[in-house]
């Protein structure tokens, strides 16, 4: 099985690969990998933990290599033991990004990641960009290749039913070079689904989350999933909010205040790039409670933290006899460390799904996402059970 | 339906009754009542929210009445709106405790609650004590009476297979006046189960949690449940710990530090009385994770807080690539407010169980307890589902 | 000694008066009153703790009285013992606000406090407004009257050297009805200083903080002080930040996130009204450290909290060998309770200052303010020492 | 100037030396060093930042060297940048501990640090032990040598006026081999003061804090200081508590709960070794407030934290009108990182004091200690001012 990452030089991408290799080499434990829990015994028969090959697109430092890029993130964060790092050098130096697209990725990306080295810079038409991306993937892929988008968060683009509503029009608009109607993640998702490569959107960017691409996935019998990895504060929210519901306690307000200082933080400091993220984080409370209490959901840049995302949550609720009470939590984690194993998990489950003949949105992967597609189940526990049941059912099939 | 409370003059007991009456009068919402969630629609047909009569035993201020006792707690805590309080005066003045037993309740109870007015003081034999308790209950009870123990936490007593192991020997030992083998809660539970009154143990005291009484319950077709209401920090622990399990995150250590300053806090400041509480709070983590990380579980007296239990939890865990991360939460609630509605819930579900022919330990009520009897399910979410399924199954039966 | 409050019907104003009366009646302690510390022994000889009379302006509910207004705040917040409240009814009903001005008080005030009953509504010229205000004060004042502004926070107004730069032009502009150059707080400060009534600005509004009014105060030998009561999160910040300085620890970032839900919170939810508050809270860190680390300072509306201001601070700092460390604090207090006693303190110290012949800005009152005028001393400790020394020096003079 | 450390192989000792060398080499900043603040300009003329030589005693791994010992601490904690570590290897390998004494160091030390290699193991008399220690120091010392005790915390020993009350009896008891009357730290302090080497006690062990040794210091014109470095939670407590005093807020209770998991933590997990530490941390609140509120002060072992001391403080206080409010803080720091620079600071100030003819307890160094000798000033701010004034006064003298 092979793994392709869009945004491969980011901290999530590089850390996922580093961890994968470290486990392969026996120098790190499998902690953090959902797919290695006893509940998923047998998964490895379909989707092994080791990948045969890893590749990806990025839009920065195309001449660099994965080790160098990982090392830069590491120097800022020292996010795992330096002895592991050293032993990965040789393997990781061999992995190099291909040049991707930054189409309509917003000021956040263009400003914070410059100099950008993307296909647009080469004066290509939309069709030519798509062709280049496709060529990279076709060269790489085998029958068991999965692609995951861990690139920076894009701004949302206005939904245009005419173009995004079905795959025929979507492809026509590419031919007609209607660049303003597409973002990078849509192109990545398109190229994957077109070529029967399962695709997952680990970001809140649009990716495969439009009618045209959902149709394509169904037609091509290819599974996909998203959006936005549920890794930190939102994971806790969706684990905890059910408690208030089960106990008939009335949530009066829920404040969630996130700070971080890495590249992702820089990009999200730009309003348009932040927007989809906020929506993604904010709505989960109401989905779980069945009513929408007052909420504050903010992400702010705090440079010295780098990738050490810290979140402060405050829940004000009412109990018996109308009495108000308080609950506080603080999340203090390394964003890439909580995200990276899920990238591997999702890839393995998508490959499993494909082998088991699943197609379209795999809503049973909701457990991994802040904004799961095509389901209203946001409760972490229910999502986990759903995943286990789905896996067991398919495992025992055929 | 009628409700009998052991420890009726405590803050949990008085608050439960106050809330119940306030809802009856339409001056308070049903917030906090699990039994009023849509998931339990139809319960009221078996167990109405209003009780026909409320009574109980206590060992202090026997000449007082429920309003006076509630008012003392209220002056210390102002734990709900004073306008509600005022409107309950007339109703609550009518409720008066009967004199109970403080047998082997430990120094915590004897010292902190003095002057004690209990049956022992009257130089009665064990059999006479039991008779008096039984008489009180027989005078009070109808076909739909449930009793709940909300008295102070007793010390544990050494398990003596000869006496506690079957009901015949248990009753013989009562006759033989072997006082050192019994605690108040065991006598209360005995009297209830003997008279087919469902009994629940809201405290970590022994109550019905010995073989002899379990046998009696089975023989008499009466349901019972316990132990120790899961209302605060432990509720959060058992909601949150599963998240670490689902994500294959390794909990390295879990610190839970509780402070409170009311009567309960005073009693628990005594080592022997505290012991069962600590055990009850501590073991849940290991039960959920499947391994036993380093834990700190403490309850300390902090006078100025009164009933405003505050808890500080810190979870140290390891993720991908061996990286350590941190999670903190602070629980800031009014102990009686989170406990009181559960007293009503448990009573209603036990009465429902009895009507549906259930007998013995109702392990499906695990959701309400820190140390549920006869189950290893500590995960709050699973417990809730179990409760809903059990209710639905029985509801639709016969 | 007499006290006049602008914004007398607000929660700070009503609570200050309630506390003052409760102490007078012997039903409450002097806790919270700086002026009653042993360090200020002898102050009462100049400025007694009891006021002979209390009055003020407001722009809402002019027909109401202080008890009614206090009671509304109390119902929302139950911010002190209801038994105290009851005993104050008779005294407080006698206090009634006069109609004030809401000139250029911004959308926050106009929207959230409506219906507004202010002098502008009566189609008066600026001069007429000033005359009315002056009339109210002249009727009320004696030789020992102090006025304090506890009205809602106004937006800042652009400084116009021509008009705000000296008192002659300031008065000319009033005559010329240049309403756009004045805010309510400037008019209040003007009327006070003109009539030798010491004035303190408990809000971040402009008040007496312009050259023209400072000149007037000097010429009229009247003391004044401000701005913005230092009562909560900023008090802690300015107490704690020196620690990092003394220990040569480098603050990398300081996040201060405030939420509250009362009227003040509603007004501050309006961007223009919030602005001066943010500036006031934000700059203190740099002033104390001598360099400006990255800071986040936010105030957000959180309705269910009412006046229970809650603040979350996070300090990221660097120590020996470049190692980063973390410090967190949570402030959970009743805003009016921490503010109210300072209103009394400031009044007493200003009256003392006047009697001791002090005039102009009393920078030694910096201890009470977030943005003290004419000093760069923000360190709470140094401010306290300065206050004690100033008091002792004057006390022993003449 | 030269530095001698008792307990040199501990994490505080090794980190202090590492930092000192790193600064010398220009590969680390001076952050954390009080003695490098502008307020102490000129100190370097008396006490340079670089030491000519560094040595010390320890009771473990005597054949090891400082780099190896530092490296073990570093592997557990990664408490500073690994690139700094690498560059220090050569220098630190040259530093080797001499064998010290573990006399009456308690079960905590004997159990947790075994195998112990100390002079007692060699069957020496008290006098012989003292001679050996003295020999080591005499070989090392020059005119500007300072010694600091950073060894593990010992149990307290009962004060015996006959032996500890004056130096003559103290020396006689050594000759008489009354081992039960002495602890290691007393011997270290004795050898130093006898040889005119300024001594500071960075631990809560007895050290020079008995009458006999104070007398010796006076007679020998040698300055000394202690006890127990004020580096973490207590530093914050003594910075913050004054705020409550200045504002006349009544502290109802103060909870301080500390957890850590390093060697120091292991030793302190032993009751007798912990005792002096608790006393040291606990009393500061009362000293500052002038009354003794209810306090909880605990230190508990939490293995996975290693040297990352985490503390949870909760302050319950009463304000105006009797209203109770809450304040919480969390301290999350690396114990050795906050302690190490102070070791250097104290050494430099003691050497300065000696050169300026100061003798006996230097109470102006109170700023550095939890339990400063011979002063009641615990307020961090006042202590800092006292230090600055003392320095300036002496600097300008002679
Ligand atoms: N816990 C988490 O870290 C977490 C959780 C959920 C979602 N996410 C999302 O995952 C994504 C990656 O996070 P990160 O911390 O690694 O960010 P990052 O900034 O370190 O990495 C993003 C990478 O994507 C590259 N990139 C940007 N636009 C691209 C494009 N159009 N095509 C190809 N490459 C592109 C960048 O050059 C960079 O290398 C972000 O969108 C983030 O919001 C992260
Ligand atoms: N959130 C919660 O409050 C919570 C949660 C779980 C369990 N509990 C348990 O519920 C119990 C009640 O808590 P509380 O806060 O109301 O305590 P409380 O001290 O206010 O009330 C206990 C009452 O029981 C009475 N009592 C003591 N021993 C008795 C005996 N042998 N017979 C009859 N009465 C007796 C006392 O006189 C008192 O009126 C405690 O055991 C507590 O540990 C409470
Ligand atoms: N801890 C604190 O509460 C604290 C600390 C520092 C500053 N402050 C400031 O004190 C002021 C009062 O706070 P509050 O909580 O009492 O607010 P509030 O909204 O309860 O009260 C403000 C009162 O001022 C009145 N008002 C508004 N504009 C007026 C005007 N132009 N003239 C006369 N009256 C006017 C309102 O009608 C209201 O009665 C605010 O500006 C607030 O920012 C409060
Ligand atoms: N922030 C802080 O770390 C801090 C603050 C205040 C006080 N302290 C105190 O500083 C001391 C050192 O702390 P640490 O974290 O470095 O502990 P540590 O356990 O890492 O180091 C103690 C060292 O002292 C040695 N030792 C023990 N007894 C000895 C003896 N009798 N003679 C010579 N050496 C001996 C041990 O072998 C060890 O190398 C402890 O007493 C601690 O309580 C530390
Ligand atoms: Na932390
Ligand atoms: Na709180």
Is the Cβ atom of D230 under 6 angstroms away from ligand 4? no
Alpha-carbon distance of D116 to D123, in angstroms, equals 14
The answer to whether D227 and D280 have CB atoms below 8 angstroms apart is: yes
Residue from A71, A107, A152, A274 whose mutation best tests the ligand 1 pocket (most atoms within 8 A of CB): A152
B89 and B73, same structural domain? yes
For chain A, list residues with pLDDT below 50.
Answer: none
**Better pLDDT: C275 or D70:** D70
Task: Name the residue of chain A whose CA is nearest to C252's CA.
Answer: A304
Listed in sequence order, the residues at least 6 apart from A95 whose beta carbon sits closer than 8 Å to its beta carbon are A8, A17, A54, A55, A65, A66, A67
Decide if pLDDT at B280 tops 90.
no
State phi, psi for C309 to the nearest 5 degrees.
-60, 130
**Better pLDDT: B273 or A357:** A357
Is the Cβ atom of C5 under 6 angstroms away from ligand 3? no
Alpha-carbon distance of A192 to A350, in angstroms, equals 13
Residue B211 burial class via C-beta count within 10 angstroms: exposed 0-12, middle 13-18, buried 19 and up: middle
Centroid of ligand 4 to alpha carbon of D143 (angstroms): 26
- Going by C-alpha positions, the residue among A278, A275, A272 that lies closest to residue A106 is A272
D151 and D12, same structural domain? yes
Return the ligand 2 atom nearest residue B153 CA: 41
Mean pLDDT of B139-149: 97
Centroid of ligand 6 to alpha carbon of B352 (angstroms): 38
**What local confidence, expressed as pLDDT, does residue D80 receive?**
96
Per-residue pLDDT tens digits for D293-340: 999 999 999 999 999 999 999 999 999 999 999 999 999 999 999 999
Interface test with B, best of C78, C80, C333 (most B CBs within 10 A): C78
A107 and A178, same structural domain? yes
A64 and A200, same structural domain? yes
Alpha-carbon distance of C248 to C318, in angstroms, equals 9
Mean pLDDT of D143-158: 95
Three-state SS string across chain B, please? CEEEEECCCCHHHHHHHHHHHHHHCCCCCCCCCHHHCHHHCCHHHCCCCCCCEEEEEECCCCCCCHHHHHHHHHHHHCCCCHHHHHHHHHHHHCCCCEECCCCCCHHHHHHHCCCCCCHHHHCCCHHHHHHHHHHHHHHHCCCCEEEEECCCCCCCCCCCHHHHCCHHHHHHHHHCCCHHHCCHHHHHHHHHHHCCCCEEECCCCCCCCCHHHHHHHHHHCCEEEECCECCCHHHHHHHHHHHHHHCCCEEEEEEEEEEECCHHHHHHCCHHHHHHHHHHHHCHHHHHHCCCCEEEEEEEECHHHCCCCEEEEEEEEECHHHCEEEEEEEEECCHHHHHHHHHHHHHHHHHHHHHCCCCEECHHHHHHECCCCCCCCCCHHHHHHHHHHHHHHHHCCC
Per-residue pLDDT tens digits for D38-78: 999 999 999 999 999 999 999 999 999 999 999 999 999 99
C225 and C297, same structural domain? no
Task: Name the residue of chain C whose CA is nearest to D382's CA.
Answer: C381
Peptide bond connecting C244 to the previous residue in cis, omega within 30 degrees of 0:
no
**What local confidence, expressed as pLDDT, does residue A398 receive?**
67
The β-bridge partners of C299 are C258
Alpha-carbon distance of C381 to D244, in angstroms, equals 11
pLDDT band at D279 (very low <50, low <70, confident <90, very high): confident
Among B291, B314, B333, the domain-final residue is B333
Mean pLDDT of B213-227: 98
Three-state SS string across chain A, please? CEEEEECCCCHHHHHHHHHHHHHHCCCCCCCCCHHHCHHHCCHHHCCCCCCCEEEEEECCCCCCCHHHHHHHHHHHHCCCCHHHHHHHHHHHHCCCCEECCCCCCHHHHHHHCCCCCCHHHHCCCHHHHHHHHHHHHHHHCCCCEEEEECCCCCCCCCCCHHHHCCHHHHHHHHHCCCHHHCCHHHHHHHHHHHCCCCEEECCCCCCCCCHHHHHHHHHCCCEEEECCECCCHHHHHHHHHHHHHHCCCEEEEEEEEEEECCHHHHHHCCHHHHHHHHHHHHCHHHHHHCCCCEEEEEEEECHHHCCCCEEEEEEEEECHHHCEEEEEEEEECCHHHHHHHHHHHHHHHHHHHHHCCCCEECHHHHHHECCCCCCCCCCHHHHHHHHHHHHHHHHCCC
Among A283, A309, A333, the domain-final residue is A333
Alpha-carbon distance of A242 to A288, in angstroms, equals 6
C238 and C224, same structural domain? no
Is the Cβ atom of A341 under 6 angstroms away from ligand 1? no
The helix/strand/coil state of C277 is: helix
CB atoms within 10 A of CB C205: 31
Residues of chain C neighbouring A300 (CB-CB closer than 8 A): 255, 296
C96 and C6, same structural domain? yes
Per-residue pLDDT tens digits for C237-265: 999 999 999 999 999 999 999 999 988 77
Decide if pLDDT at D283 tops 90.
no
The mean pLDDT value of chain D amounts to 95
With vertex at residue A228, the alpha carbon angle to CA A352 and CA A383, rounded to the nearest 5 degrees, is 60
CB atoms within 10 A of CB C39: 17
Determine, for residues C328 and A330 on separate chains, whether the beta-carbon distance falls below 8 Å: yes
Per-residue pLDDT tens digits for A163-212: 999 999 999 999 999 999 999 999 999 999 999 999 999 999 999 999 99
Interface of C with B (CB under 8 A): 78, 81-82, 330, 332
The β-bridge partners of B224 are B199, B361
Determine, for residues A333 and B319 on separate chains, whether the beta-carbon distance falls below 8 Å: yes
Alpha-carbon distance of D267 to D286, in angstroms, equals 27
Alpha-carbon distance of B259 to C346, in angstroms, equals 37
The answer to whether D72 and D10 have CB atoms below 8 angstroms apart is: no
- Angle, nearest 10°, between helix axes C271-282 and C233-246? 30
**What local confidence, expressed as pLDDT, does residue D262 receive?**
84
C357 and C298, same structural domain? no
Decide if pLDDT at C230 tops 70.
yes
Residues of chain A neighbouring B19 (CB-CB closer than 8 A): 320-321
Provide the shortest C-alpha distance from residue D45 to chain B (in Å).
44
CATH number for position B282: 3.30.360.10
The answer to whether B16 and B150 have CB atoms below 8 angstroms apart is: yes
Listed in sequence order, the residues at least 6 apart from D41 whose beta carbon sits closer than 8 Å to its beta carbon are none
Distances (CA, A) of D181 to C38, C140, D104, D168, D177: 45, 76, 9, 14, 9
ipTM of predicted complex: 0.96
CB atoms within 10 A of CB C160: 15
Alpha-carbon distance of A378 to D372, in angstroms, equals 56
The β-bridge partners of A99 are A58
Q: Structurally, how many domains does chain B consist of?
A: 2
Beta pairing, strands A145-149 & A2-6: parallel
Mean pLDDT of C99-120: 93
Centroid of ligand 2 to alpha carbon of B140 (angstroms): 22
**What local confidence, expressed as pLDDT, does residue C76 receive?**
93
D189 and D215, same structural domain? yes
The β-bridge partners of A53 are A2
pLDDT band at D398 (very low <50, low <70, confident <90, very high): low
Question: How many A-B residue pairs are in contact by the CB < 8 A criterion?
Answer: 188
C131 and C30, same structural domain? yes
Per-residue pLDDT tens digits for D234-273: 999 999 999 999 999 999 999 999 999 988 778 877 877 7
Question: How many C-D residue pairs are in contact by the CB < 8 A criterion?
Answer: 188
The β-bridge partners of B310 are B259, B332
| B374 conformational bin, left if phi > 0, alpha if psi -120 to 50, beta if neither | left
Among C333, C353, C370, the domain-final residue is C333
Ligand nearest to the CA of A334: 1
The answer to whether D91 and D66 have CB atoms below 8 angstroms apart is: no
Residues of chain C neighbouring D31 (CB-CB closer than 8 A): 248-250, 318-320, 322
CATH number for position C206: 3.40.50.720
Per-residue pLDDT tens digits for A102-129: 999 998 898 889 999 999 988 899 999 9
The answer to whether A340 and A15 have CB atoms below 8 angstroms apart is: yes
Return the ligand 3 atom nearest residue C152 CA: 41
Q: Containing domain of residue B60, as a range?
A: 2-229+337-394
Residue C396 burial class via C-beta count within 10 angstroms: exposed 0-12, middle 13-18, buried 19 and up: exposed
Mean pLDDT of C150-158: 93
Residue B344 burial class via C-beta count within 10 angstroms: exposed 0-12, middle 13-18, buried 19 and up: buried
Determine, for residues B304 and D312 on separate chains, whether the beta-carbon distance falls below 8 Å: no
Per-residue pLDDT tens digits for D169-196: 999 999 999 999 999 999 999 999 999 9
Provide the shortest C-alpha distance from residue C95 to chain A (in Å).
32
**What local confidence, expressed as pLDDT, does residue B278 receive?**
77
Mean pLDDT of B320-332: 98
D121 and D270, same structural domain? no
Alpha-carbon distance of A187 to A173, in angstroms, equals 12
B45 and B166, same structural domain? yes
The answer to whether D186 and D206 have CB atoms below 8 angstroms apart is: yes
């Amino acid at each position: 099985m092979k793994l392709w990452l869009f945004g491969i030089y980011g901290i999530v991408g590089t850390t996922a690969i580093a961890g994968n290799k470290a486990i392969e080499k026996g120098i790190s434990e499998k902690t953090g990998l959902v797919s290695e829990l006893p509940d998923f015994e047998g998964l490895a028969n379909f989707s092994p933990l080791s990948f045969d090959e890893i590749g990806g697109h990025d839009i920065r430092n195309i001449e660099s290599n994965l080790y160098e890029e990982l090392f830069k993130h590491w120097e800022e964060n020292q996010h795992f033991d330096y002895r592991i790092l050293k032993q990965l050098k040789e393997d990781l130096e061999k992995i190099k990004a291909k040049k991707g697209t930054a189409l309509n990725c917003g000021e956040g990306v263009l400003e914070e990641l410059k100099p950008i080295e993307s296909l647009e810079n080469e004066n290509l038409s939309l069709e030519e960009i798509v062709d280049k991306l496709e060529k990279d993937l076709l060269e790489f892929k085998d029958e068991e290749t999965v692609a995951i988008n861990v690139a920076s968060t894009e701004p949302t683009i206005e939904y245009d039913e005419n173009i995004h509503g079905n795959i025929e029009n979507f492809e026509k608009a590419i031919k007609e070079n209607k660049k303003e109607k597409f973002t990078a993640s849509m192109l990545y998702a398109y190229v994957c689904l077109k070529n029967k490569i399962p695709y997952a959107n680990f970001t809140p960017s649009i990716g495969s989350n439009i009618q045209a691409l959902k149709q394509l996935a169904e037609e091509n019998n290819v599974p996909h999933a998203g959006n936005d990895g549920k890794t930190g504060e939102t994971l806790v929210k969706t684990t905890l909010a059910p408690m208030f519901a089960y106990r008939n306690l009335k949530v009066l307000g829920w404040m969630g205040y996130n700070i971080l200082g890495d590249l992702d933080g820089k990009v999200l400091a730009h309003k348009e790039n932040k927007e989809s993220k906020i929506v993604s984080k904010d709505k989960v409370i109401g989905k779980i409670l069945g009513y929408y209490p007052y909420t504050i959901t903010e992400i702010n840049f705090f440079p010295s933290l780098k990738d050490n995302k810290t979140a402060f949550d405050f829940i004000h609720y009412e109990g018996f006899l109308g009495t108000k009470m308080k609950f506080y939590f603080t999340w203090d984690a390394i964003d890439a460390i909580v995200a990276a194993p899920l990238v591997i998990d999702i890839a393995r489950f998508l490959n499993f799904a494909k082998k088991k003949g699943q197609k379209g949105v795999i809503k049973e992967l909701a457990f991994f996402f802040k904004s799961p597609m095509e389901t209203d189940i946001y409760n972490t526990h229910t999502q986990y059970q759903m995943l286990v049941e789905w896996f067991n059912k398919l495992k025992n099939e055929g």
